[in-house]
A = this chain, B = another copy of it.
Amino acid sequence: MNADAGSTRQSLLKAAYEEIHRYGFQAASLNAILDRTGVTKGALYHHFSSKLQLGYAVLDEHITDELESLWFKPMQQPGHPIEVLKAAIKQLGDHYECEEITLGCPLNNLAQEMSAIDDGFRQRVDTLYQRWQSSIEALLTRGQQQGSVNTSIDAADTAFFILASLEGCMSMAKNAQSHNELMRCGKGLMNYLNSLRA
């Protein structure tokens, strides 16, 4: 592979991610992505066989990587499971304060827009959501074994609900366009997490 080939592909991926994050996949314009990068259409179609494949690549590579560093890595921290969770959520909130909170969670955006009309997107998002849920579930289970988390709850169901609430909070904050609403929602989430202690 050419030395530049990788970077051309990466810059396309990054620009496509940003365009999709703002306008959604369907409304994202390939020409806008090309303008933004200075790459030509021939180059784009050399690296990706269609707009759909470009979208899949954004999910499989860029968004997966982001989730890795923003969630799965913080989840590896040692300590009280509830505190680790709270810290990971806080970090996520901080990140979306720097980035525009108004653009919402990229994964949730794609889930909402595409899951009903394209199964390729749906399955990819589903896989990521399952990994996300499993990471929370594992943490809760560990806490239950250690005696720091209430054993009367079902770890899997609870993990699923925590993830849903988290996405819901980001969704509400996105529409309200205010970090204040995100904090408000975060407060409710923190209260709920505290209620899971043993």
Query: Which residues of A are at the interface with B, using a C-beta cutoff of 8 A?
Result: 22-24, 26-27, 100, 102-104, 108-109, 111-113, 115-117, 122, 125-126, 129, 153-154, 157-158, 160-169, 171-172, 174-177, 181, 184-185, 187-189, 191-192, 195
Contact = CB atoms under 8 A, between A and B. Distances in A.
Interface centre among A22, A122, A162, A172 (most CB of B within 10 A): A172
How many copies make up the complex? 2
Nearest to A152: B191
Contact of A116 (B111, B116, B174): B174
Contacts of A115: 102, 104, 174-175, 177
A184 to B, nearest CB: 5
Interface of chain A, main secondary structure: helix
B168 A164 contact: yes
A157 B117 contact: no
B22 A174 contact: no
Nearest to A21: B116
B174 A171 contact: no
Contact of A188 (B24, B112, B157, B169): B157
- Best-surrounded residue of A22, A153, A161 (most CB of chain B within 10 A): A161
A116 B165 CA distance: 21
A108 B165 contact: no
Given A24-B26, A116-B102, A167-B168, A188 B175 contact: no
A154 to B, nearest CB: 8
A153 to B, nearest CB: 7
